[in-house]
Amino acid sequence: MVKSLILIGYMGCGKSVIGKRIAARKSLPFIDLDEYIESKEKTTISKIFEKEGELYFRKKERLHLESLLSKKIQAVISLGGGTPYFFDNIDYIIQKEDFLILYLKTSPKVLAARLFEEKKHRPMVAHLDTVEAMEKFIAKHLFERTPFYLKAEHQLITDNQSIETLVSQIEKLLA
């Protein structure tokens, strides 16, 4: 594998699960950008949002994204669902030569079903009371974010696919 792999997509699309599996199979580090930010900032993203607001967080996110991508490491990197959408982050990422960018495309219906089960751990959707409300919320976000996600080199539809099938398809891209 020559390039590092960057996974993008909406929260709940499988970036972490799939990324960790690929990283283990390729004996590479797995880096979750949100966890990376939390370790560098020595606080949680939820607390950054609470104390400083989203704009402050997005500025920090960009700073840490640049820091991470400037390192000459081979890794599997999972970005936050909103990362490609803010500033010119997606254009910054795609101009990097040593990275293969993959969009894990998942339908609002599938995302809502996944996220509703774990909504108390997802501050952005914790306030939504029904799966239908969550699906509508996600559909709106995807409408806004999809043009940015579609700038990825590759796209993989995750609906009705096993993790094993998706991992195999990604391994073929990396070969």
Q: Cα(170)–Cα(50) distance, rounded to whole angstroms?
A: 36
Per-residue pLDDT of 32-61, as tens digits, reads 999 999 999 999 988 998 899 889 999 999
Spell out the domains of the chain, with CATH numbers in brackets. Answer: 4-174 (3.40.50.300)
Whether the model clears a pTM of 0.85, i.e. scores above it, the answer is yes
Return the pLDDT at 129.
94
pLDDT tens digit sequence for 76-98: 999 999 999 999 999 999 998 88
Condensed to tens digits (0 to 9), the pLDDT of residues 114-169 reads 999 988 878 788 889 999 999 999 999 999 999 999 999 999 999 999 999 999 99
Local structure of 105: helix, strand or coil: strand
Q: Strand runs (DSSP E) across the chain, as ranges?
A: 4-8, 30-32, 76-78, 99-105, 154-157
